[in-house]
Every structure is written in structure tokens, then in C-alpha cells.
Amino acid sequence: MADSKRTLIPGSGPLARVPAPAVFLLVLALFGLGVLVRGPVGALLLGALALGVAALLAVTWRFLAPGARVLRVLVLGVLVLVTVSVL
């Protein structure tokens, strides 16, 4: 069984104290609202999510294995495509 308190990347920053399920639910809610609302408001929600993902990717880049980097860049790319498509 997976431990929900286990960190993906070791650290003591402010995000280290945020429970992973809470982050997952927030991302899911932002994505769902962005896709359902559509238009400029939906694109704004998805754009905020994409900026957050890009910021986290930039901060954690040096700690990630090459395979994890490729996957995260791919996810960011798909999120940007979805953001553009809801306009």
C-alpha cells in the first residue's frame, strides 16, 4: 500500500507539507472547470494550471530522471493544447 505522506521529491519547502490527495483534487477541479466552462474563463483556469505545472517543472527539473522529464513535458504540452482548444 502506498504511503500518502511519502514525498515524490525530497525537500522542506512549503509544498512539502501539502498532502498529495489535496493537490490532486485541486488539479482535477481546475481542469474539470476549465474544460466544462470553456471560452476565455475556461482558458484562464487551464492557463493558470499550465503555469503552475510549468513552474513546478522548472523547479524540480534537476531532480528528475530523463524519463520523468519527458513525461512531464508531454503532460504540459497536452495541457497547453487543451487550453488553446477551449477558446
Model-level pTM? Answer: 0.81
Q: pLDDT tier at 1 (50, 70, 90 boundaries)? A: very low
pLDDT at 5: 56
Query: What average pLDDT does this structure show over 62-82?
Result: 95
**19-42 pLDDT tens trace:** 889 889 999 999 999 999 999 999
Q: Domain locations in the chain?
A: 38-87
Give the per-residue SS3 of the chain: CCCCCCCCCCCCCHHHHCCHHHHHHHHHHHHHHHHHHCHHHHHHHHHHHHHHHHHHHHHHHHHCCHHHHHHHHHHHHHHHHHHHHCC
**5-16 pLDDT tens trace:** 555 556 777 777
